[in-house]
Amino acid sequence: MTLTLDDDQRYRVVASRDPRFDGWFVVAVRTTGIYCRPSCPSITPKRENVEFFRGAPAAVHHGYRACRRCRPDVTPGSPEWDIRGDIVGRAMTLIADGIVDRSGVPGLAERVGFSTRQLHRILTAELGAGPLAIALDQRVRNARTLIETTDLGFSEIAYAAGFGSIRQFNDAVRVAFALTPTELRGRRRAPAGTGWLTVTLPAREPYSHGQVMRFLAARAITGVEAVSEDRYVRTLRLPHGPGLVDVRPLTGRAGMVASLRLADLRDLAPCVNRLRRLYDLDADPVSVDAALGDDPVLGPLVRERPGLRVPGTVDPYETAVRAIIGQQVSVAAARTVAGRLVAAVGPVVEALEGVDRLFPSAEEVLAAPDEAFGMPVSRRETLRRLSEAVVADDVSLELGADRATLRDQLRSVRGIGPWTADYVAMRCGDPDGWLATDLGVTASLARHGLDPSAAESWRPWRAYAMHHLWTEGSK
């Protein structure tokens, strides 16, 4: 699904300053050389003076710089990449997770199954910018975060943000913001030696924060996570080392504010991306609620809980392990068993609020003794078979994986059935994920006199419909 607006419709959105469209596109003003989010509070420019781009990379590529007033570089991401599972959506997900910085464009192309030339052509045709330009935009945004929230020197920031040289870093910052790094830092410099970064994670209104926190709290694993009504602390296994995050709701608007402690600052982009996916911050709640709100069963639930989200994952392998542990047991029992496995083989890291362990990797699960699992033999062996397949790269558990392929690969592992494969795909970002055999879903449908075929009318938002049914059933 794509937002199909022509330029005249986009101009009317800009004239109305509608924040729902922030992240879907940017508006660039020829007379000033700046680009803005659609909701920018500045005076609306004349129609003949503006052009529109799908995102900031294309605007920068055409010589525009970011507006200092509306900060289009800190809007929620486009919800389109969560909806779409095609080549463009998968590429954008992987770029956001820092794959270009780690493996280059060839690595990205290999992950999505295209040549670098084909991938560049596809992204440029649809988005107005190729993978390098999109990755450069992300580096600049990461650099701005580090400039404004740390006391790091600019050479350290350039390296951490993924730039090859301090000159490239300086030039990119000036092009993007019409400011030097020194001017950009201004008086925002963080206290020396804190070791923590603070980033804002905006979301589109409305946002059902309490529903997400209850979902996370019910599944929180001791040692890995600590959840309260308005705080989420956990460890993360990131590409270059461990991370520790402390996330709280923003005051006065939708979204979260996250304090991050990273072993390697190059992990800023993947850390932020994974938190955004965990909290489903790039969703378009207005479209979801409008699609489900007229349904006779879901309508009352949508009105009771507008802006409901589908919590994602920070680590697809972790989610798959937790799903296997949870087969045929309650959420609370699965949480207890997972906690025992973490206590037995999860690596110890820096502690905060009792959170002091990483969730074990596939290699660590394979090396774990039988007594570490605390579960039936059949389920223990399923975990080992999954871990073997992940280590051998027969199952690709990563953000941006093709959803159909992910399901097929998981189901090829003996002991993993449709429910587990579909659940993992849903947590990895499929907004139409549907667990037809889930006991909570079937019970909710039965209460309303419906059979599973009713879910066909809820496409492409069946995952959101299911979370409404789950939330109703947990009252």
Q: Which of 7, 8, 22, 36 is catalytic?
A: 36
294 is catalytic: no
Report the C-alpha gap between 321 and 326 in whole angstroms: 9
Strand partners, 248: 257
- As a whole number of angstroms, the distance between CA 52 and CA 232 comes to 38
**Interstrand relation of 225-228 and 197-202 (parallel, antiparallel or unpaired):** unpaired
Tell me whether the omega of the peptide bond preceding residue 306 falls within 30 degrees of 0, making it cis. no
Nearest of 249, 294, 270 to residue 458 by alpha carbon: 294
Q: Which tokens in the block code for residue 446?
A: 């039965």
Tell which residue, 256, 275, 277, has the closest CA to residue 93.
277
> For residue 88, what are the contacts with CB-CB under 8 A and spacing of at least 6?
81, 122, 123, 126, 127
How far apart are alpha carbons 234 and 222 in whole angstroms? 10
Backbone CA torsion sign across 108, 111, 112, 116: positive
Residues 6+ apart with CB under 8 A from 100: 94, 107, 108, 131, 132, 134, 135
| Residue of 264, 315, 428, 438 marked catalytic | 438
Beta-carbon-side half-sphere exposure of residue 376 (alpha carbons within 13 Å): 12
Residue 429: both structure tokens together: 């970002």
The string of DSSP letters for 250-304 reads PSSSSEEEEEEEESSGGGHHHHHHHHHHHTTTT--HHHHHHHHHTSTTHHHHHHH
For residues 119 and 103, the answer to whether their CB atoms sit within 8 Å is: no
Eight-class DSSP state of 86: S
Contacts of 146 (CB under 8 A, 6+ apart): 152, 157, 160, 161, 197, 265, 268
**ω before 418 within 30° of 0 (cis)?**
no
**Which conformational region is residue 413 in: left (phi greater than 0), alpha (psi within -120 to 50 degrees), or beta?**
beta
CA distance 258 to 248: 6
Place of tokens 């004239």: 15
Known catalytic membership, residue 438: yes
Catalytic residues: 36, 438
